[in-house]
Amino acid sequence: MKVACIQMCSGLDRSRNTQDAATLIREAAGEGAELILTPEMTNIVDRKPKRLFSELPDESGLEEISTFASLADELDIWLAIGSLAFAVSGQGDHQRAANRGYLFSPDGKQVNTYDKIHMFDVDLPDGESWKESAIYAAGDMAAVVETPGAKIGQTICYDLRFPTLYRRLAQAGAEILMIPAAFTYQTGKAHWESLLRARAIETGSFVMAAAQGGDHEDGRKTWGHSMVIDPWGEVIEVKPDTRPGIIIADIDLAKVKKVRQQIPNLKLEKMPQITNISVL
C-alpha cells in the first residue's frame, strides 16, 4: 500500500487552507498514494477564541467536509482529514469548538469521525502556555475502521502522549495508527520523533504522522517533520523541515503481523499493585 502524509502551515483563512490542502492531496494522489492523511487543524489554526468563533460555523455549515468528500471520490482515494475545527456549543467565554478528524472512502462516503480526547493544557519551560480545554470540547470515543486495505485507528496530536489509547486501538486490530498534529516547535524538537517511534514499537503498528509546520498567522510556531514509521520503530519516510509538502511511503502490512508474532506484548496485561514507601 502506498500512503502519504500532507504537511501544512494552516493560517486564518479556511478557504485558502482548504485549497492548499486540496492541492497537496492531488499531488500525493498523482504519485500513487492510496491512503492520504492531512494534519490537525487542516482548515484553520487560530489561538485567539474571539477571532476564531467570529467566522467559525457549526458542522452543518462547514463546507470543507463536502469539499474533501468530493475530492476523495474524484481521486478514488482513502482520505483522512487529520482534523477540522467547527463551533459546537456555548456563547462568549463558554463557547466551544470541536477538533474532529474525518475519514472518507474512495466513493466520498464519510465512514468515521474522531474527536480529540486529550486537551493540550500545558505550561512549557520557555513560558509558552496552552489551555485547549478553554476552547475545545474533548471527545471520549475511539474506533478502529476496517477498510479493504488496512485497519485504521484515528487519534490527534496530544493523544500521542497517552500510550494506553494506542495499545487499546492495536488490541482492537488497528494496523495503522494515524497521528495528525500541530506540535509546538519546542515540544516537537524535544519529543516528536521519540514518541512516534515509541507508539509504533509498543503496538507493532505503522504510524502515519502528518504535521503542521512553520510560522503561523496566529503567532505560533510548529515543528513539522511529518513521518511514516514501521512496526519495528524505523522511520521509513520523513519530511526533514517545517515547510509545506508531502511525503510518500510504501508500506507492507504483513510486517504488522510478523512483528506482533515476534514480540507479542499486546497479549500481555499484568497490572502490578503499587505501594507507596516513605523513607523519612
What residues are annotated to the active site? 40, 116, 157
The Cα-based distances of 108 to 36, 53, 65, 223 in angstroms read 13, 28, 10, 31
| Residue given cell 515543528 in the structure block | 223
**Integer-rounded Cα radius of gyration of the chain:** 18
Q: Which 3 state secondary structure label does DSSP give 185? A: helix
252 neighbors 3 (Cβ within 8 angstroms): no
How big, in percent rounded to 5, are the helix, strand and coil portions of the chain? 30, 30, 40
Instruction: Give the residue among 124, 129, 114 at the shortest CA–CA distance from 159.
Output: 114
Where are any strands of DSSP class E within 106-261? 110-115, 121-123, 129-131, 144-146, 151-154, 176-178, 206-209, 213-215, 221-223, 227-229, 235-238, 245-250
CB atoms within 10 A of CB 175: 26
255 neighbors 230 (Cβ within 8 angstroms): yes
